[in-house]
Structures are given as C-alpha cells and as structure tokens.
Structure 1
Amino acid sequence: MERVAFLVDESGTRVDCLLNPETVRVTRLAGVRPRHAADGRLTGAGLADDPLVFTGGGRTELVLDLLFDVDFVEAQVRPDDVRTLTAPLWLLAENSATEHGWLRPPLVRLVWGKTWNVPGVIVAVAERFDAFTLTGSPRRSWLRLKLVRVAENAEAAQEGFADELATASTPTVPPGSAVVATADGAAEPGWSGVRFDLLAHDALGSPLRWRLLAEHNRISDPLSVPAGTALAVPPAVAPAPTGGQPS
C-alpha cells in the first residue's frame, strides 16, 4: 500500500490515506454531447450515428480505493472509531466553500509521490466498515472516493503532463535487455491481463512512456500482448511522448 494525501487549498489541512490497492482509475470525458431539438434528441434518417455537439472542455475523473485502520495510526493515543479518521474526507464532499456567491465543495489537491499533484473537488464518497468492537465502533474502513479535476486550460494541462514525464524514476530493467509481460489479476474480455503501463515503468522509468516501449517492439495493441511475451527494452529513452496511457 502507498501513502497519498489530500491537501485543502484554503486551509492547508492535510488528510493522509493509504492507497489500496496501488492503482488509480482515471477517466476522461470529452466535451461532446448528442444534438437536441426543441422536442428531444435530434436524429437523422440514414445516419450511422447521432449528430453531436462539440462543446469544448470535458471532465477528468479519478477513482481511488483508500484504506483506514486505527491500528495504523502513528500516535500514542489511537482513536477507537475509524470514522474519526475518515470524517475529514466526508466533509470535503460537502458544499462548504463559496465561489461567485454559489456554494461548492472545497478545492483539494491529490498528492502522491513526486508525479501526482491533481487539483480537484471530491464529488462522491462511499465507505464500508469492518473490524467492529463490542460496542459497535468500526476500527477499519474501506473507502472509495471520486475526485473531479478542476478546470484548467489546455496549456496548463499539457505542462502538467510534461512535468510528470520529466520526473521518471530509474528503470529497474537495464537498457538493451528484455522485460517479460505478466498478467495482473483477472483479465476482462478483449484484454490479456498484462499491465503495459507497469512494463513501461520497469523498462523506461515511467508508465507514461508505454508508447515508446510499444513502438520499439512493433506492438499496435498493447492490451492484447499475451502473458509471457519478452519485450525488448530500448537502448535509450527517446523524447517524451505526448499520448496518455492505453485504454
């Protein structure tokens, strides 16, 4: 498990968490919607797809599974109820801030290591409790949280992406050797179960460099690479790519 933190911009408050498992699901929704007429959705006879309106902007969502346990608290006096630890995250999903006269959730930043610093608002929290005491107090919490990134212009978003690529770590596999693809958990239909982004992290120091690894091995579909395949590691890292992770 990895430690992550949420920083509240207005107050500077820090909420520490354990990321469990060590994965983050990121979804990007482009600014596209079906075209509507006055009496409902507009469709066209003979068209293969509905007409669309390109509105610009979009929505980037991050879903994290977090773990809280009173036994993990590094303090002399530990709380008896894990809800003492998770309450600050619930409060961050409340409309407690004001912007232009409207109530809104407070702005927070997801901070994880040196490469994740995502500004956003928490729009959903769900929590499951276990390890109850005799008095009914839960000592452990499995919490799922959804963070929506706040609006940034395209230039700022591109700069942030370039910064993430620039802070790549040292590869664990030496250049010119090979890395073996292994399946990670149960595979979904159409997916071999191989995490190509993790292969890129081992081979090139960053999961965002998956495209370089794929091009070097002449792989057109990274999601279909069979487990056990040996992939050659490029002898040197080329200039940072501009694409995201495979989807």
Structure 2
Amino acid sequence: MERVAFLIEDTGERLGCLLNPETILLRRQAGIQSRQCGGGLVTGSELADDPLFFSGGGHTDLTLDLLFDVSLAGSSVSSEDVRDLTGPLWDLAENRRQDTYGKPPLCRFVWGKSWNFPGVVSAVAERLESFTALGVPRRSWLRLRLLRALDPVVQPYQPVPAGELMSVVPSGGPRQTMMHEVVGGAAAQGGERMDQLAYRYYGDTALGPGLAAANNIDDPMHLPAGHLLEIPPLSVLLERWDAL
C-alpha cells in the first residue's frame, strides 16, 4: 500500500510512492538581510559585521530523496520506463502545470501522521539507472525540493442544515464525540480528505493525521463513501494520537 503521497490541492490528484523517502532534509532561512541605505550597504571602518535588517518572513524548504523502480510490484502505473512514474512529479516544476496567473500548483507531502507539508516544487533532479538494450531507464533516484507555502483554507466552515447526521462546530473541536459520514470517495475524485475534516471540526489541517489515527484509517487519502468517522473532542484526539 502506498503510504507516502503528494497531493495536488487544486485538482485533488494523488501521486503515490511505493517506497519511503531515502532521506529528508529540512532547512529554514530566516528573513535577515544586510542593512542598506540610499547609496547601498551601510559601511563603516569600525564595523566588524554588516548591520542586519530583520525583514520577517524567510522561507522553509524540504528536500526529499526518492527511489522509483518499475520492477517493484504494487504501482498503479504499469510501464517499462521509470519516467512514467516520476513524470508527474517532474511536471510540477514545469510551466505547463501553472495556472493563468503564473501560480505554481500547491503540492502537499503526506506521510503517516508525521508529515503534512504544503509547498511548491522549486527544483527536481533525477539520476536514471538500469537501462534496457534500447536505452529505457527502469530505476530512478529522484531529488525533489519543496518550498513551504501558506497552508490554504481547504474547506471553509459551513453550517449543516438541521436534520443532517451531525452538526458542525467552530474551531476548537466538539465538546463531545460526534459522528461524520464520509461524502464522496477517493480524494482524486473529489471525495473528502482528513485534512479537510480536521479543519472543519478543529480549525487546523495539521490534525488530519491524528484524526485518521484515532479512527484506525491506514490510508487517509482514500476514505470510503458512507464510512462513519468518530470526531472526538480535541483533548481526546490528542491523547489517542500520543498513545500511538
């Protein structure tokens, strides 16, 4: 079963990986610059270091080393060319995946309850190996770099009409355990996702993996339509999550 996935926010498209990442490198660059004046950098004969200007912001990036091999069983794509597996990730850095306003597609890296990282692909590199006699590569070592982007509001709070199975509460979570009936199906076909439900009931998409764990959901990207989920109070949710 695919446990590592890249989810395209705008389309709901799901790009799965059969293997865990070989390595993950997380880096943070603070919003610090050398102070400048109208004529350029601030200078002085007695300065030991450049005066610093704290601009705020900065950026956080995540670098993943992924392995793809067409000889592995279980992939949803059957091909002799490994580039058919890595192509969708490569395309995230291509201009054709951007919308009319020059906005790159927001991609969410999801791995169990430990990682839920929203970002845009800023760089990709691929080392191809195990070529056939015709030069077709069968194995790929792919390095992907994601720049963290602001986590969008994936599903605004909307009250549910009276008579529905449950009532929706604002952020902070319900005061007692509630039940939610899953609408739709797989996220790629427009079905509900755990991060959406976590925002709907708790006001925080990062609680999606915890909500999945509390309901013993192994694959939070494929929720069966009609399945009943428990929506516990926030304190109970965190206790169950920590106990796993």
The aligned counterpart of 1:29 is 29
In structure 2, relative to structure 1, the CA distance for the partners of 1:16 and 1:161 (3 Å cut) is closer
In the alignment, what sits opposite 1:149? 148
Match of 2:72 in 1: 72
The alignment-based identity, stated in percent, is: 52
1:103 paired with 2:131, answer no
Q: Distance in 1 between matches of 2:77 and 2:53?
A: 57
Q: 1:141 to 1:79 in 2, by over 3 A?
A: same
> Is 1:88 aligned with 2:88?
yes
Closer, same or farther in 2 for the Cα pair 1:28/1:163, shift >3 Å? farther
For the residue of structure 2 that corresponds to 1:64, the secondary structure is: strand
User: What's the CA shift string for 1:16-40, capped at 9, x where partnerless?
Assistant: 123342x311001111111223443
Name structure 1 gaps, 5 residues minimum.
154-158, 170-239, 241-247
Structural RMSD (CA)? 3.1
Residues 113-140 of structure 1, C-alpha deviation per residue, up to 9 Å, x if partnerless?
Answer: 1121111000000000000001100000
Cα distance change of structure 1 residues 112 and 137 upon mapping to structure 2, 3 Å threshold: same
TM-score between the two structures when normalised by the length of structure 2: 0.58
Between the two proteins, the alignment pairs up a number of residues equal to: 161
Does structure 2 retain, via aligned residues, the 8 Å contact 1:107–1:119?
A: yes
Is the 8 Å Cα contact of residues 71 and 78 (structure 1) preserved in structure 2? no
Q: Does 1:58 align with 2:23?
A: no
Distance 1:162 1:10 in 2: 18
- What's the CA shift for 1:43? 2.7
SS in 2 for 1:68: strand
3-state SS of 1:25 partner = strand
Q: Matched residue of 1:11: which SS?
A: coil
Q: Give the match for residue 20 of structure 2.
A: 19
Q: Distance in 2 between matches of 1:162 and 1:84?
A: 31
The 3 A distance-change label for structure 1 pair 127 and 30 is same
SS in 2 for 1:33: strand
- By relative contact order (CA 8 Å, sep 6+), the higher-ranking structure is 2
Superposition misfits of 4+ residues, deviation over 4 angstroms: 159-164
Distance 1:120 1:86 in 2: 18
What is the CA distance between 1:11 and its match in structure 2? Answer: 0.9
Q: 1:88 to 1:77 in 2, by over 3 A?
A: closer
- Match of 1:102, SS? coil
Letter in 1 for 2:61: E
Q: TM-score, length-normalised on structure 1?
A: 0.57
Deviation, 1:73, is 4.1
More moved, 138-147 vs 38-47: 38-47
1:49 matched residue in structure 2 = 49
- Which of the two has greater strand per residue? 1
State the SS of the aligned residue for 2:124. strand
Tell me the SS of whatever aligns to 2:133.
Answer: coil
Is the 1:19–1:64 Cα contact (8 Å) retained in structure 2? Answer: no
Q: Is the 8 A contact 1:97 1:106 kept in 2?
A: yes
Measure the CA separation in 2 of the matches of 1:127 and 1:77: 19
Q: Which SS does the other structure have where 1:103 is aligned? A: coil
Contact 2:35 2:41 survives alignment (8 Å): yes
